[in-house]
Chains A and B, each alone.
Chain A
Amino acid sequence: MKNALIPVGLCLLLLALAALPLVAGAYLQGVLVGVMSAVVLASAWALFSGPTKYISLATVAFFGLGAYTVAVLADHVPFGLILIVAGAVGLAVALVVGLATLRLAGVYFVIFSFGLAELVRQLITWAETTLNKTLGRYIFIDIDARGIYWLLLALAVATLALRWWIERSRLGLAVHAIGDDETVARHAGINVTAVKLALFAISAVIITLAGAIQAPRWTYVEPSIVFNPTISFITLIMALLGGATRLWGPVFGAVPLFFFFEWLSVKVPDQFSVILGLAFILIVFLVPNGVLDLAQSALRRLGLPARGKEAPHA
């Protein structure tokens, strides 16, 4: 009974989400794009960083690459094709970077991923000023907020479906083992480097696509806008708040935090960064395993039946 209700409920939810922009005004459509983008970024980040525990701050490197691919190709190629090229660019960069760095452990990987985002930003700034002679670019693509929202919704569904599938496959088992102890994983026969690279690449392609899909919204882009490191930090904090190892965790973190940050930037625009930093610290201290984990243990303490931690493998 319960098993049949879940897919039906999810389909209804999806239909409702798809219908939302039809009744929403221009402002609300913009909000919807923002929420859906946050959901995609947090879920894609968690796809790699959740189980492997490789905390990546490179989110914005791929996000910005996607946006820049659109900016460069906008006047020459149809949007659909641009998205494919953007995905390929994200994949290529992820494979090169991944091969070079996924051997780094712990804090070294965090620092590297942060450095990568800065490097990409500086490279593009350099290329634009020397080759193109100007820093910014204009994007004129005929797609409205609704179209962008639907594309992001489709990407969010694909990301969640992918995470659901990975969690049930032997790949999911391998990634969790890698997060626990790479030596154990290796001696069980897991090609640790290949698994990490695959997950990193999938995550990076989704993030690149998220940047590319949204690029037409900005009309004008320059490196400081699309390579803003705050995007990396916000993505990370959203995934952590919900619980990065759970399927729905990043969604439960992304939605409330998106509205919280929106509210902050309207109410206290000058202190935004300060409060962002405080929120970061509070989340890491108070809900290190995410709110879903917190809710589950609270239910258990009350003696109520709680659903098991992530579905079992196999």
Chain B
Amino acid sequence: MLEVRNLTKRFGGLLAVNNVSFHLKTGEVVGLLGPNGSGKSTVMNLISGALMRSAGEVRVDGQRIDGEPAHRIARRGVARTFQLVRLAPSLSLRENVLLSVAFGPEPLWGADAVRRADAALDRVGLGGMGDRRVPDLNYIDQKRLELARAIATRPRLLLLDEWMAGLNPTELKTAIDLIASVRDGGTTILLVEHIMEAVRALCPRCIVMQAGVRIADGPTAEVLADPQVIDAYLGGAAHV
């Protein structure tokens, strides 16, 4: 479904992503792990079109999307959330979701669009709050709203960049169930996440990056037991 081949991104002299390749099957939920600065978010940004690749290819359902502007990639059914929540603060919650409904893969407008937006708000636990404004929301609800905007279009591929960071245990449980329900709706999901509980619950498979290079790719339990991964990723966190 998603094919990333020899993806490379250079920022001046820095190789942020170095020749990374992987492949996601339809309906799969895959965790993209690695220490801070390993290039995970850059990979997400390259797939969504927020950044332009230096070399390599990205394909969605066989069609090349690398080199396309972000809005066209979004219209192909690739939705995302951002590491630091990004919303349109001058718009109401409903209008924030309407954005992707009105301009996404199957654009809708009018009563149908409002219904779709309200349903998405409902789904993330913001039901009945459509007329509220973004500045009225706490951090968790802002994250919920961002997810509502991403899933309202029923995307084929969903990119979640540390969407579960900062949740308390109860909220985390709800969040995991929510992501699972999106997966059950047929959406393929690639998620960058530091919360291992969520990774174990959601991702049967993980890809691990270090210093821009893919160092492991396989079943989560095996990958997490890989000495190279422990050294790179968990080793870095061991003294916390």
Stretch from A41-49, A180-188, A222-230 at the B interface:
A180-188
In the complex, the answer to whether B103 meets A190 with C-beta atoms within 8 Å is yes
Q: By CB atoms of chain B within 10 A, which of A170, A176, A184, A188 has the most?
A: A188
In the complex, the answer to whether B104 meets A188 with C-beta atoms within 8 Å is yes
B149 within 8 A of A: yes
- Bound form: Cα–Cα A73–B53 in Å: 51
- The dominant DSSP class at the A interface is helix
A174 within 8 A of B: yes
Residues of B within 8 A of A177 (CB): 88, 91, 99
In the complex, the answer to whether A181 meets B88 with C-beta atoms within 8 Å is yes
A34 within 8 A of B: no
Given contacts A173-B99, A174-B103, contact A189 B75 (CB under 8 A): yes
In the complex, the answer to whether B114 meets A184 with C-beta atoms within 8 Å is no
Given contacts A176-B88, A189-B75, contact A184 B99 (CB under 8 A): yes
B186 within 8 A of A: no
Quick one: CB contact mask for A167-211 with B, threshold 8 Å, 1 for yes?
000100110110111011111111110000000000000000000
In the complex, the answer to whether A314 meets B114 with C-beta atoms within 8 Å is yes
In the complex, the answer to whether B102 meets A170 with C-beta atoms within 8 Å is yes
In the complex, the answer to whether B95 meets A312 with C-beta atoms within 8 Å is yes
Subset of 8 A-B contacts with CB under 8 Å: A176-B91, A180-B89, A181-B88, A187-B79, A188-B100, A188-B104, A189-B75, A314-B114
A313 within 8 A of B: yes
Instruction: Report the minimum CB–CB distance from A192 to chain B (whole Å).
Output: 7
B98 within 8 A of A: yes
Instruction: Report the minimum CB–CB distance from B104 to chain A (whole Å).
Output: 5
CB within 8 Å of B: which A269-314 residues: 312-314
Residues of A within 8 A of B80 (CB): 187
Residues of A within 8 A of B99 (CB): 173-174, 177, 184-185, 188, 190
- Bound form: Cα–Cα A181–B98 in Å: 15
Chain B interface size, as a band, is 35 or more
Instruction: Report the minimum CB–CB distance from A105 to chain B (whole Å).
Output: 15
Nearest B residue to A53, CB-CB? B90
In the complex, the answer to whether A173 meets B71 with C-beta atoms within 8 Å is no
Instruction: Report the minimum CB–CB distance from A33 to chain B (whole Å).
Output: 35
In the complex, the answer to whether A181 meets B86 with C-beta atoms within 8 Å is yes
Residues of A within 8 A of B107 (CB): 170, 189
Instruction: Report the minimum CB–CB distance from A290 to chain B (whole Å).
Output: 14
- Bound form: Cα–Cα A187–B103 in Å: 10
- Bound form: Cα–Cα A173–B99 in Å: 7
B70 within 8 A of A: yes
B109 within 8 A of A: yes
In the complex, the answer to whether A189 meets B104 with C-beta atoms within 8 Å is yes
Q: By CB atoms of chain A within 10 A, which of B50, B71, B82, B89 has the most?
A: B71
Quick one: CB contact mask for B186-211 with A, threshold 8 Å, 1 for yes?
00000000000000000000000000
B17 within 8 A of A: no
Residues of A within 8 A of B (CB): 170, 173-174, 176-177, 179-181, 183-192, 245, 312-314
Contact of A314 among B89, B98, B104 (CB under 8 A): B98
B69 within 8 A of A: yes
Residues of A within 8 A of B103 (CB): 170, 174, 188-190
B105 within 8 A of A: yes
In the complex, the answer to whether A313 meets B86 with C-beta atoms within 8 Å is no
In the complex, the answer to whether A183 meets B87 with C-beta atoms within 8 Å is no
- Bound form: Cα–Cα A176–B80 in Å: 20
Contact of B48 among A173, A187, A312, A314 (CB under 8 A): A187
- Bound form: Cα–Cα A191–B73 in Å: 11
- Bound form: Cα–Cα A170–B48 in Å: 23
Contact of A188 among B82, B94, B114, B149 (CB under 8 A): B149
- Bound form: Cα–Cα A312–B75 in Å: 25
Instruction: Report the minimum CB–CB distance from A170 to chain B (whole Å).
Output: 4
B74 within 8 A of A: yes
Q: By CB atoms of chain B within 10 A, which of A174, A190, A192 has the most?
A: A190
Residues of A within 8 A of B142 (CB): none
Quick one: CB contact mask for B55-97 with A, threshold 8 Å, 1 for yes?
0000000000000011100110001101000111111101100
Given contacts A184-B99, A187-B50, contact A314 B71 (CB under 8 A): no
In the complex, the answer to whether A183 meets B71 with C-beta atoms within 8 Å is no
Contact of A184 among B69, B87, B94, B105 (CB under 8 A): B87
- Bound form: Cα–Cα A245–B86 in Å: 21
Residues of B within 8 A of A185 (CB): 71, 88, 99
Residues of B within 8 A of A176 (CB): 88, 90-91, 95
